[in-house]
Copies of this chain bind each other. A is one copy, B any other.
Amino acid sequence: MSEPKQERAVKTREAILHAAAEVFDEYGYSGASISKIMERAGVTQGGMYFHFKSKKSLAHAVIASQQEFVQFPAGEPGLQRLVDLTFHLARALQTNVLVRASVRLSVEQGEMGLRDDTPYREWVEQLYVHLCAARERGELLPDVDEEEFAKVLVGAYSGTQLYSNISTGREDLMERVAMLWHYLLPGLAPAHVRAKVRVGPQEEGLAA
């Protein structure tokens, strides 16, 4: 295959994934259809079937692309960065339809007969890196197991955003994430470290 052809294929795949995320966010899994997604992506049936054979494989790919959909600002690894990531993700859930669709499908995957913990494991891996950096910087309590805490945080965070979504359409998600940290930090970091950690969104112009 020539280089431009490959590039085109990559772009088409990306366009399909984005369109699928939009349609899944709007209609849910059951209400979405391949034809709606083709129309939204502006691709032919041939283009679609070259990349994805079914609605289920599309949903699978949207779930698996969760990490690509969230663009984190650069920053120094460590405890502050770990906390910042959770608020950045909260903002992404409030504002980015692709992230929202991917999380919705991950949570509602029982409805499509899937059981795929890839998105959860990817978050665990990402948070684990920051916990290891925090450990090296002396920011963690001695009895914290970095991998264990990463799993606890991913589970706790998933439910926090779910509850916030059902209660307020994620309007109060920032407050809920801050509350979660209020009760998790004493089990994670010593008092002198906690005193310096900013718990709230870091982006400009946003209130906690």
Contacts and interface: CB of A to CB of B under 8 A. Distances in A.
Question: DSSP class of A's interface residues: helix, strand, loop or mixed?
Answer: helix
Given A159-B159, A179-B152, A111 B29 contact: yes
A179 B155 CA distance: 11
A30 B111 contact: yes
A166 B120 contact: yes
Contact of A187 (B108, B152, B184): B184
A132 interface: no
Indicate how many identical chains form the complex.
2
Contacts of A166: 106, 109, 115-117, 120
Contacts of A44: none
Interface string A113-126: 10111001000000
Interface of A: 28-30, 104, 106-111, 113, 115-117, 120, 144, 148-149, 151-152, 154-164, 166-167, 169, 176, 179-180, 182-188
18 contacts: A28-B110, A28-B111, A106-B166, A107-B110, A109-B166, A117-B163, A117-B166, A117-B167, A151-B179, A152-B160, A152-B180, A152-B183, A155-B180, A156-B156, A156-B180, A157-B159, A158-B159, A186-B187
Given A116-B166, A152-B182, 16 more contacts: A30-B111, A106-B166, A107-B162, A108-B108, A115-B166, A117-B163, A149-B183, A152-B160, A154-B163, A155-B162, A156-B180, A157-B159, A158-B163, A159-B160, A159-B161, A185-B187
